[in-house]
RNA sequence: GUGAAAGUAGCUCAGCUGGUUAGAGCACUGGAUUGUGGUUCCAGGGGUCGGGGGUUCAAAUCCCCUCUUUCACCCCA
C-alpha cells in the first residue's frame, strides 16, 4: 500500500533540507546579532490557550485532539501564546528587557495554496517589557536586517506600518461606537483588495451616518503620518498615537531602513490581541501574500494571568519568503548540498584496508570523509568524489607502500601533491586546533 | 469552508477527435576507461497514465465519484 503525504505538508529531501537550514540559520544568526536569545515550547498546548485571545480566525484553523486522559489539546498555530505563558511563569526572575526569538514549526488547518501550507516554520522575535516605540523600531529593523542580508532591497519589499491605537482613537473621536470598531477594522483591512466602489458600498452598510463615513473615506487618503491631521481633527489620545507613529518613522530613518517603510492606514491585522503599532511586510509588486507581520500586544501577558507588561514582536514564515527569494533569483547560488573535505580512493584492492583506516582517522580529526564501498577502478572512485562535492581526494597506492606518502588531489584545480602520511595528519591536527 | 482549473517515469512535459507492447529531455544505474573525476558516447532500470467505478469489442483519451495540487474567495506566514 502506498501512502501519500498529508495535504498541505512538505517532504524535505536533502536539497530542500539544505535550503531550509540555510533559511533558518540566517534567522538565528540575525536574531543573535540583534541581541535576542532563543527559546522554544512544546508543539502542542491546551486548546483553550489558543481559544483565549488569538481571535476566531486562528481558532477555526486549529488542529485539535484529545489525549488519552481526555485533555483537549491543539497543535500550535502560533507561538505567541506560548511565549506569554512562558514569560509569565518566570516573570520575576527574568532580566528586562526580555528579547527572545524562536523558529517554531506551526500547524494550521487552512486550505493549502501557494505560500500557505498546513505546516510551516516561522521566525518570531519579541521584546517584552519596553513600551517605548524604540522596541517596535528595533523589531522592524531586525526583520529588515535579515531580509537585506539575503539580498532583498526596497525595490523588492515594503513594510506597511500603521497603529491600531491611533485608528481606534480617530474612529472614536469622529463618533464611531466602541463595539463598531472590530467589524470596521476588518473592512478597512480589506480596502485595498475591494476596489473603491465596493468599499464605499460596504462602508455604507456599517456606518449609517454620512458625515462619519465621509471622514473615514478622507482619512483613507492619508499617505503619510503627517497628513492625518489634515483630514480629521485629532483628539488628545489620537494625537499621542500619531506622534508615536511619527517617532517610529524617525527612528527607522536613523537606523537606515526608512526606504523600506511606508505608512499604510489599511494595515490592521487579523489577530485580536494587537494593541498599538502594527505592520506587515509584502513584496513590492503585491504579487504574493504577506511575507510577515507583527506589532504591539501590550495586553496579552496580563490576559494570560501575568503582570501588565508591554510587548511587541513579529513573525515571518518560511514559505512565502522562499517563493519570493526564488523568484528574485536569490536562491540560485545558495546552498551547496554535500560538503565533503576528503574522498579516500585506492588504486588496488590491497590498499582497501589502509584506505578505510585513513578515512576513519580523518573523521576522528574532524574532517568530513567518505570512500567507495565497492572496490572499483580509480576512475569510478574519482567520479564518486566529484558527485559528492569532495574538495580533495586522497589516493592510496604504491606511493604509500613505497614511500609512506599520500597523493592529495585538489578536485577543483586537478592539481596533485605528495605528502608524507604522518606529516599530513600532524598538519591536519594543528589546523583543527 | 465556497467556487474554478489541472493531475502521464524522480523532475519538466509530449501523446488525448477512443484503436497494436505509453514517449522525449534531464536525473539514476552499468559500460567504453586495468592509476586519475566533473565532458562525450553506448546500454539499462523505472509508469496498473493520481485512485475507484462506469460506457465500449477496445479507455491515458469519454462520463461519474474521490484524493491531491494550483487559482479566486476567506485570511494571513
Burial A313-347 (b: 16+ CB within 10 A, else e): bbbbbbbbbbbbbeebeebeeeeeeeebbbbbbbb
Strands A37-38 and A98-102: parallel
H or E element at residue A353 = helix A352-364
Q: How far apart are CA A428 and CA A423, in angstroms?
A: 9
A376 touches strand B (CB under 7 A): yes
Kindly report the pTM of this predicted structure: 0.90
Protein chain A, residues 18-47, with a C-beta closer than 7 Å to any atom of nucleic acid strand B: none
Residue whose C-alpha is closest to residue A303's, from A113, A83, A13, A156: A83
Q: Considering chain A, what percentage of its residues have pLDDT values greater than 90? A: 55
pLDDT tens, residue by residue, A321-347: 998 998 888 887 766 666 789 999 999
Protein chain A, residues 210-239, with a C-beta closer than 7 Å to any atom of nucleic acid strand B: none
Q: Provide the CA A2 to C1' B32 distance, Å, integer.
A: 39
Question: What pLDDT shows up at residue A126?
Answer: 97
Identify the residue with better confidence: A182 or A66: A66
Residue carrying C-alpha cell 602520511: A421
Contacts for A195 with CB less than 8 Å, ≥ 6 apart: none
- Nearest nt to the CA of A268 via C1' is B76
ipTM: 0.86
A105 touches strand B (CB under 7 A): no
A158 touches strand B (CB under 7 A): no
Position A55 confidence tier, pLDDT thresholds 50, 70, 90? low
Q: Provide the CA A291 to C1' B4 distance, Å, integer.
A: 26
Question: What pLDDT shows up at residue A163?
Answer: 92
Q: How far apart are CA A174 and CA A216, in angstroms?
A: 9
A255 pLDDT exceeds 70?
yes
Question: What pLDDT shows up at residue A184?
Answer: 83
Grid cell locating A54: 488569538
Q: Provide the CA A15 to C1' B25 distance, Å, integer.
A: 22
Q: How far apart are CA A27 and CA A38, in angstroms?
A: 11
Q: Phi/psi of residue A422, each to 5°? A: -65, -35
Q: Spell out the domains of chain A, with CATH numbers in brackets.
A: 14-41+79-333 (3.30.930.10), 340-432 (3.40.50.800)
A383 touches strand B (CB under 7 A): yes
A90 touches strand B (CB under 7 A): no
Residue nearest to nucleotide B69 (CA to C1'): A113
- Nearest nt to the CA of A186 via C1' is B75
- Nearest nt to the CA of A316 via C1' is B77
Q: Provide the CA A7 to C1' B54 distance, Å, integer.
A: 28
Amino acid at each position: 500500500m502506498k501512502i501519500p503525504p498529508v495535504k498541505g505538508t512538505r517532504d524535505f529531501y536533502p536539497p530542500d533540507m539544505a535550503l531550509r537550514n540555510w533559511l533558518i540559520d540566517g534567522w538565528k544568526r540575525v536574531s543573535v546579532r540583534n541581541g535576542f536569545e532563543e527559546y522554544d515550547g512544546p508543539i502542542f498546548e491546551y486548546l483553550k490557550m489558543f481559544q483565549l485571545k488569538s481571535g476566531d480566525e486562528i481558532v477555526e484553523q486549529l488542529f485539535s485532539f484529545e489525549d488519552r486522559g481526555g485533555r483537549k489539546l491543539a497543535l500550535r498555530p502560533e507561538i505567541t501564546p506560548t511565549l506569554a505563558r512562558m514569560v509569565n511563569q518566570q516573570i520575576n526572575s527574568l532580566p528586562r528587557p526580555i528579547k527572545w526569538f524562536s523558529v517554531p514549526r506551526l500547524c494550521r488547518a487552512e486550505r493549502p495554496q501557494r505560500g500557505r501550507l498546513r505546516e510551516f516554520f516561522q521566525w518570531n522575535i519579541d521584546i517584552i517589557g519596553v513600551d517605548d516605540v524604540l522596541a517596535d523600531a528595533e523589531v522592524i529593523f531586525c526583520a529588515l536586517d535579515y531580509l537585506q542580508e539575503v539580498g532583498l532591497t526596497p525595490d523588492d519589499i515594503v513594510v506597511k506600518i500603521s497603529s491600531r491605537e491611533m485608528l481606534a482613537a480617530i474612529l472614536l473621536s469622529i463618533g464611531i461606537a466602541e463595539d463598531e470598531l472590530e467589524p470596521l477594522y476588518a473592512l478597512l483591512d480589506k480596502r485595498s483588495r475591494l476596489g473603491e466602489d465596493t468599499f464605499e458600498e460596504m462602508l455604507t452598510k456599517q456606518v449609517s451616518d454620512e458625515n462619519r463615513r465621509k471622514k473615514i473615506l478622507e482619512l483613507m487618503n492619508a499617505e503619510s503620518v503627517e497628513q492625518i491631521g489634515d483630514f480629521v481633527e485629532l483628539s488628545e489620545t489620537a494625537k499621542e498615537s500619531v506622534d508615536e507613529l511619527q517617532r517610529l518613522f524617525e527612528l527607522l530613518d536613523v537606523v537606515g531602513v526608512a526606504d523600506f517603510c511606508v505608512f499604510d492606514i489599511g494595515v490592521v491585522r487579523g489577530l485580536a490581541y494587537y494593541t498599538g503599532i502594527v505592520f506587515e511586510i509584502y513584496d513590492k509588486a503585491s504579487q504574493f501574500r504577506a511575507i510577515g507581520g507583527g506589532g504591539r500586544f501590550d495586553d496579552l501577558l496580563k490576559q494570560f494571568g501575568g503582570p501588565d507588561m508591554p510587548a511587541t514582536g513579529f513573525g515571518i514564515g518560511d514559505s512565502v519568503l522562499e517563493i519570493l527569494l526564488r523568484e528574485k533569483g536569490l536562491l540560485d547560488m545558495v546552498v551547496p548540498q554535500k560538503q565533503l573535505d576528503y574522498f579516500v580512493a585506492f588504486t588496488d584492492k590491497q590498499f582497501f584496508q589502509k584506505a578505510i583506516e585513513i578515512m576513519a582517522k580523518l573523521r576522528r580529526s574532524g574532517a568530513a570523509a567518505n570512500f567507495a564501498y565497492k572496490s572499483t577502478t580509480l576512475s569510478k572512485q574519482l567520479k564518486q568524489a566529484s558527485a559528492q562535492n569532495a574538495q580533495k581526494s586522497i589516493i592510496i597506492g604504491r606511493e604509500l607502500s613505497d614511500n609512506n606518502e599520500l597523493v592529495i588531489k585538489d578536485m577543483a584545480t586537478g592539481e596533485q601533491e605528495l605528502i608524507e602520511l604522518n606529516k599530513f595528519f600532524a598538519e591536519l591536527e594543528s589546523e583543527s586546533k
